[in-house]
Each structure stands twice: as structure tokens, then as C-alpha cells.
Structure 1
Amino acid sequence: MSLLEVKQLTKNFGGLSAVSMVNMELEDNELVGLIGPNGAGKTTLFNLLTGVYEPTEGVIDLEVEGKKTSLIKRKTYTITSLGLGRTFQNIRLFKDLSVLDNVLIGMHEKNKVGTLASILRTPAYYQSEKKLREEALELLALFNLETKTEELAKNLPYGEQRRLEIVRALATKPKILFLDEPAAGMNPQETANLTALIRQIQKEFKITILLIEHDMSLVMDVCERIYVLEYGRMIAHGTPEEIKNNEAVIKAYLGGE
């Protein structure tokens, strides 16, 4: 089976169908794009896959230890623990906490010492805290943030806040990383750096990445496959070359007649 299988996924808000009968598959260690005009339903689809919204109907199955596991009606934190991590279109850091603490919060699910050990501050508690801190510092170093560990997240430049949000998502050790418009608000140089960073993430962590992005040059440059949404429906799927030459995509997304 695929790592993630989505079948006939639908979300209605009153009389409006924000996502309608969407089918999608993600495999191990691939980089996939999700594009479409504003209001096409891309972020709504992310919210369905990560448990923020409950589908009106449809199937979301994740491969866990060789078995299909349904993500329908599961809490967001449970879905995160099963291996889905994400960033947001609008940065959602803990802005009054340090850079390091933001990453450690992402790791809390991996702390296995238990409540009693945490309360009593046993040797096992301190060993676990030390290990998590070392892992957090290693992650920050990979993204050139190791010198910013004690800075408040809100004091970082915009591009570094974006990187920190990705680091925090990676701290959950996801099988699939959902990136929601990571280049939003970036200048061309920051976008170029982000493109290199996304490649580095896949190389270093060997995970699947699903990327929502309006910057078509970034999408065409890094993605192996691309899905295209319009008005909540999937209108195309293929390689970057196929999508670039797809008449329906040109008309819906790139402004063709």
C-alpha cells in the first residue's frame, strides 16, 4: 500500500463544498506539490489530512507498521504522533519562547519517561531531557540556527522564523511533512535558500514532503509529482512537465484561455 491513501475526500461547510471527492496517494520519500488558485481548497485539504477538520465523507489511510490506519476522527496530536508533521501558511511559533524551547515542545511526544519520573525529577528524567536537548541542537545546527538557541522566536528575521517552524515540525519525527506556502513573504534570495533547504530536508531525513506553494518556479524545480486543485476538485496530476503543459491547469491556474 501507499504511505498515505486519500479516497473520495470531501468537506462541506453548510452548502459550500470546499473539498470534493479528492483522491491522492503519497509514497515513501517523495516530494509532491499541491497547487491551485486562491480558494481552491489546498489548506482545507491539509487541515483534513492533519485532523484540524473532520471530513464530511471519504477515507484517509496511513501506513503504520505495515498496516492501514485510518486517520478519520483522530485528534490532531494523535495524527502527529503517527507521523504527520506540518507548518502553517501563517507562522505559528511560540513567539515568546526561545528558539530551543520551540523545538523541544515539538519533541515532547518523544519523551517516554512518564509523569511520575517527570514530577520526581529522577535520573531517567534528566537523561531523557539531555538527549532531547542534544537532538534539538543537532536539528538547529542543520538549519544554521545553532547560534540563535536562546533568542526569542519573535526576534528572528522572517526567513529564520520560517526555518524554525520547519525545524519544529521535523522535531516530531514525521513520516510525512506538510509545508503550507513556506515561501510566502520571502524575497527571491530567501526563496532560493528555501528551495535548497527543502532538498536538504528530503536528503537528510528521507521523508515524504507535500508542498503547497504559489511560487511556480519553486514547485517545478523541486517536486517529482504535482496535484492541482480547482474549486475543491482535483483537476490534474502528473510530473512537472505534464502539469506545465496541461491545458486545464493553464486555464485554471496560469491564466490561459
Structure 2
Amino acid sequence: MSLLQVEKLTKNFGGLAAVSMVDFKLESNELVGLIGPNGAGKTTLFNLLTGVYVPTSGEIVMEIDGKKERLNGVKPYVITKKGLARTFQNIRLFKELTVLDNVLIAMHQNSKAGVLASIFRLPKYYRSEEGMRQEALSLLSIFDLDNKQQELAKNLPYGDQRCLEIVRALATKPKILFLDEPAAGMNPQETADLTKQIRKIQQDFKITVVLIEHDMSLVMDICERIYVLEYGRMIAHGTPGEIKQNPKVIKAYLGGEE
């Protein structure tokens, strides 16, 4: 089966169907785009896949160590441990902590020190802490943030805060990384740099990356496949070339008439 398989996924808020009967699948080691007008249900879909929301109906199934696991209703922290990580449309950093500590917090779920070693500060604990610190600095260096490791997150420029959130997500060792509008608020040069880094991350870490993005040049440039949502329903799926020429997508999102 696919790495992640979604079938007839639906989320109702009262009488409103924010996501309706959505089919969606992800394979290992690919870069996928999710686009659509504002209010189409893109972030709601991310919230369903990462445990923030519980589906009203439908199935979310992930292949983990060769076995199928149903993720409906699983808590977000458990889903993170299973290999799904995300960033948010509105930056959610620990702003009063340092850049380095933001990453280390994300890494501690994978700590191998053990409870006793951590409580009694045994040598294994210090070796584990130093190993995580070096790994965190290596991740920060992807975005040239290692030289800002002791700055408070709130003092970083906006673009760097966006990048730090991506690094923190990578620190959880995901199989799938969901990026919710990673280029939002960035200038053209920052967006161009980010585009290169997203592609490099996907290739170097051999993970699946899914991004919501309104910058069509970014999406068309790096995504292998694209899904299109409108009013909570999936109206198209295909390669960038196919999506550009799809009449439904042109009418709903890209501009123009059928």
C-alpha cells in the first residue's frame, strides 16, 4: 500500500463540511503540493492528518514497519512519534526560548538516555544530550541558523522564524513533513532560497514532503504531484503540467473560465 492512504475523509463543523469525502495518498520519498482557494479546506485536511482534528468519517491509514495503522483519533504527539510532522500557517515557536532549545525540545522524544539515566544524570544521559546538541546544530546549519543558536526565537527575522519551524519539525525524524504555507510573508529572494532548501531537504532526508502554498511558481517548480481542493472537495490531482491545463482548476483557482 501507499505510505499514507486517505479514503472518503470528512470533517463537519455543525452543518458545514470543511472537508468532504476526500481521497488522498502519499508515497515514500516524494514532493506533493496541496492547493486551492482560501477556505478550500487545505489546513483542515492537514489538521486531520496530524491529529489536531478527529475525522467525522473516513479513514486515515499509514504503513508503519510494513503494517497498516489506522490514525483516526490518534493524539498529535503520538502521530508525531509515528513519523508525521508539520509546520503551521501561523508560526508556533517557543519564542522565549533559544533557537537551539526550540530544536532540542523536538528531539527529546527520540532520546535514548532512558528515565533512570536522565533522573540520576548518568554518563549515558550526558552522551545523549551532547549527541542531540550536535544533531540539532547540524539541522540548523541547513538554513544557516547554527550561528544564531543562542538567540531567542522571538528575535529572529520573520523568514528565519519560518525556517526554524521547519528545522524543529525535521528534528522529530519524520517520514512525512507537512508544510503549511512555508513561504507566506517571505520576499521573492527568501522564497527562491526556501524553494531550493525544500527540494534539498526532501532529497537528502529521503522523506515525503507535502506543502500548502499559494505561490504557484514555487509549487509548479518543485512538486511532482499536486492535489487541488475547492469547498472541501478534491476536484483535481495530477502532475504540474496536468494541473495547469485542467479546466476545473483554471476556473476555481488559477483564473479564467472553462
- TM-score by length of structure 2 reads 0.98
Q: How far 1:142 moved relative to its partner? A: 2.0
Identity of aligned residues (%): 75
For residues 30-109 of structure 1, the aligned pairs below 5 Å read: 30-109=30-109
Equivalent position SS for 1:107: helix
Match of 2:175 in 1: 175
Match of 1:12 in 2: 12
The 1-side partners of 2:51 and 2:112 are apart by: 24
Which stretch of the first structure deviates more once superposed, 148-157 or 137-146? 137-146
Equivalent position SS for 1:78: helix
Q: How far 1:118 moved relative to its partner? A: 1.4
Match of 1:3 in 2: 3
Q: How far 1:108 moved relative to its partner? A: 1.2
Equivalent position SS for 1:5: strand
The 2-side partners of 1:175 and 1:107 are apart by: 15
What is the letter of the counterpart of residue 175 of structure 1? K
Segments of structure 1 that go 5 or more residues without pairing to the other structure are none
What is the letter of the counterpart of residue 24 of structure 2? M
The 2-side partners of 1:14 and 1:197 are apart by: 40
Which stretch of the first structure deviates more once superposed, 133-142 or 9-18? 133-142
C-alpha distance after superposition, 1:203-225 (max 9, x if no partner): 21010001100001100000000
For residues 1-257 of structure 1, the aligned pairs below 5 Å read: 1-257=1-257
What is the letter of the counterpart of residue 197 of structure 1? Q
The 1-side partners of 2:21 and 2:112 are apart by: 39
The root-mean-square deviation of aligned C-alpha atoms, in Å, is 0.7
C-alpha distance after superposition, 1:88-129 (max 9, x if no partner): 001101011000000001101101323332121111111111
The 1-side partners of 2:255 and 2:18 are apart by: 22
What is the letter of the counterpart of residue 191 of structure 2? T
C-alpha distance after superposition, 1:54-88 (max 9, x if no partner): 00001101110011111111110000000001000
The 2-side partners of 1:126 and 1:214 are apart by: 44
What is the letter of the counterpart of residue 44 of structure 1? T
The 1-side partners of 2:104 and 2:137 are apart by: 9
The 1-side partners of 2:58 and 2:180 are apart by: 22
What is the letter of the counterpart of residue 252 of structure 1? A
The 2-side partners of 1:209 and 1:202 are apart by: 6
What is the letter of the counterpart of residue 195 of structure 1? T
What is the letter of the counterpart of residue 173 of structure 1? K
C-alpha distance after superposition, 1:153-201 (max 9, x if no partner): 1111111111110000000000000000001001111110111111110
Q: How many pairs align?
A: 257
C-alpha distance after superposition, 1:26-79 (max 9, x if no partner): 001000000000000000000000000000001101110011111111110000
What is the letter of the counterpart of residue 91 of structure 2? I
